[in-house]
Amino acid sequence: MDSTYSTQELDQLREFFTSTIVETANQTIPKSKVSTNSKPWWNEDLKALRKEIQRLNRLAKALEYTLF
Predicted confidence at residue 34, as pLDDT, reads 75
More confident call, 4 vs 68: 4
Predicted confidence at residue 41, as pLDDT, reads 84
Predicted confidence at residue 1, as pLDDT, reads 56
The 3-state secondary structure of the chain, one letter per residue: CCCCCCHHHHHHHHHHHHHHHHHHHHHHCCCCCCCCCCCCCCCHHHHHHHHHHHHHHHHHHHHHHHHC
Q: pTM for this structure? A: 0.44
What are 24-60's pLDDT values in tens digits? 999 999 887 777 787 888 899 999 999 999 999 999 9
